[in-house]
Amino acid sequence: MLSMESRMKNYIKSVVALTVSWVLVLVGFIPASASSVLTDKGYQLEQVVMMSRHNLRTPLSGKGSIAEKMTSHQWHQWSIQPGHLTLKGAINETAFGQYYRCYLEDEGFMPVDWVPQEGEVSFYANSFQRTIATAKYFSSGMLPVANVHVVHTKGIDEPDPVFFFPLELDTPRLYELGVSYTEQNMPRYLTNGEAMLASFEKVMDFSHSEYAREKGIEHLDPKDVHFVLGGKDKNVPGFKGSWRDAYKATDALIMQYYEEPDNNKADWGTGLTKQDWKNIGDISTRGISMICENPALSLRYIHSLLEKMDSDLSNEDKRFSFFCGHDTNIIMLMTVLGAEDYHVPGAIADKAPIGCKIVLEKRRDKDGELYINPYIIYQSDRQIRHCEVLDLNNPPLRYPIKLTGIEANEDGLYRYSDFKRLLQDIHAQYAYYTET
């Protein structure tokens, strides 16, 4: 934990070290010196807990899948195994880690060439290739001279229940809460459906697709969607209908958009506008939000991850911890924390962009009071599509998380004691709703 004074000492030490070192002072080297506004205001960064979505992966939709059936076009040819992080995803996540190296050095949080002691940092990922690899690339970018160990608890590509779960409403209270939420809120997720599906049909050349031919239709019906309870115990909330089919097909479409920076290739020359792409992103976001914003599901399934994040946050020896999972985890976490509804700019997937991270920064003010600075940080679609190198001059985009259950101070920070109380409330709710 560095005070302002020790930050200055470290800075002076590093300048002296450079001067006396065998390494000469660099031609044109500008030492980074502009810390963040919060640091300048005296909120010193002491600890970081980060929950990341994996970076770019190949589509999950299968051969002969709905994605193939709903278009007359040929999909992008992927050279990487199904569900794996793509080559570009690895590059982008390395860039993200490098940005954090620049940022955390600049904040006085860590020295140049930091090699953390045992227990000071941790990287824990779901056991899928794409989540382990995302954690690995981020860690290399952030700590290139340290030998960081990425922890995963299952065999590769086996789901770890901390991150990936069956989505059952498996107690009476959860069932009631979950079902009534969906019944009440479903219309909210279906607004603007016509425009969204129009963009989808345009890019997919839908009317000439096998799907359209088989069903004898030319257009998708935005009202053709209904709530179902699946699974062997009929307690897994889901949706059916052509809207749901479009949602499933957008996965391959969005991955193609990220992977292919040439618009003309990404949209098969159909002349999609930015708004069209946003509409397509919205299909995906709505589809996942319908499930993951459900308070019963998010409470039930994010609890274990939240406990681990809380445990790291409470551990004074742990300076940086990184968790890596999925968009489902991101949206559930935001739901459980009671974040104000949000739509991040610069990304067609505006709730959980690929590779995005929920960050909890623990900061201490001059009087010794601790605060949490929560935000979501993500590469803009432009940065992703063009594999941009990131640094303090080209940072990823940052969007503050506004918590509705506790009050922020004038600098947008939450007292750590309030935040801990919020977590306790969540634990209490979890206990109540999971009681059988």
Q: Which is nearer to a second copy, 178 or 325 (CB)?
A: 325
Residue 87 interacts with a second copy (CB under 8 A): yes or no: yes
Residues 23-52 vs a second copy: string with x where CB under 8 A?
xxxxxxxx-x--------------------
Pick from 116, 144, 241, 338 the residue near a second copy by CB under 8 A: 144
- How far apart are CB 125 and a second copy at their closest, in Å? 9
Query: Around Cβ 295, how many Cβ atoms within 10 Å?
Result: 18
396 binds a second copy (CB under 8 A): no
The reply on whether position 147 binds a second copy by CB under 8 A is yes
Residue whose CB is less far from a second copy, 394 or 424: 394
320 vs 414, beta carbon nearer a second copy: 320
Binding of a second copy by 75 (CB under 8 A): yes
Tell me: does residue 112 bind a second copy (CB under 8 A).
yes
8 binds a second copy (CB under 8 A): no
Q: Which two tokens stand for residue 398?
A: 């940052």
Q: Which stretch binds a second copy (CB under 8 A): 109-117, 240-248, 265-273, 308-316?
A: 109-117
CA distance 168 to 189: 21
> Among all chains, which residue has been given the structure tokens 């934990």?
1
Does 85 help bind a second copy (rule: CB under 8 A)?
Answer: yes
- DSSP assignment of 359-379, as one string? EEEEEE-TTS-EEEEEEEEE-
Distance from the Cα of residue 120 to its chain's centroid: 23
Residue with tokens 């425009």: 195
Measure the CA–CA gap between 296 and 299, rounded to whole angstroms: 5
Q: How far apart are CA 228 and CA 239, in angstroms?
A: 5
Tell me how far, at minimum, the Cβ of 78 lies from a second copy, in Å.
5
Which of 141, 281, 325, 374 forms a contact with a second copy (CB under 8 A)? 141
d(CA 31, CA 277): 39
Token digits for 209?
A: 């697709």
Please give the C-alpha separations between residue 41 and each of 35, 70, 360, in angstroms, as whole numbers: 10, 54, 18
Q: How far is the CB of 271 from a second copy (least distance, A)?
A: 22
Please select the residue that binds a second copy; options are 33, 77, 117, 436, rule is CB under 8 A: 77
Residue 190 as a binder of a second copy (CB under 8 A): the answer is no
Task: Select from 78-86, 226-234, 294-302, 353-361 the region that touches a second copy (CB under 8 A).
Answer: 78-86
CB of 134 to a second copy, least distance (A): 9
Measure the CA–CA gap between 382 and 357, rounded to whole angstroms: 17
Other beta carbons within 10 angstroms of residue 228's beta carbon come to 13
- Site mask for a second copy (CB under 8 A), range 240-259, x = bound: ------------x-------
Helices (H), 293-415: 295-313, 327-337, 381-385
User: In this structure, is the dihedral angle defined by the CA atoms of residues 196, 198, 203 and 205, taken in order, positive or negative?
Assistant: positive
Q: 121-125 and 150-151: which strand pairing?
A: parallel
- Determine the 3-state secondary structure of 124 from DSSP: strand
181-189, 233-241, 382-390, 426-434 -> range binding a second copy (CB under 8 A): 382-390
Count of chain residues binding a second copy (CB under 8 A): 65
Q: Which of 85, 94, 80 is nearest to 133 (CA)?
A: 85
Start-to-end C-alpha separation, the chain: 44
Of 75 and 375, which has the nearer Cβ to a second copy?
Answer: 75
Binding site for a second copy (CB under 8 A): 18, 21-30, 32, 58-63, 65, 67-68, 74-83, 85, 87-88, 90-91, 94-95, 98, 102, 112-113, 115, 129, 132-133, 136-137, 140-141, 144-145, 147, 149-150, 156-157, 159, 252, 387, 389-393
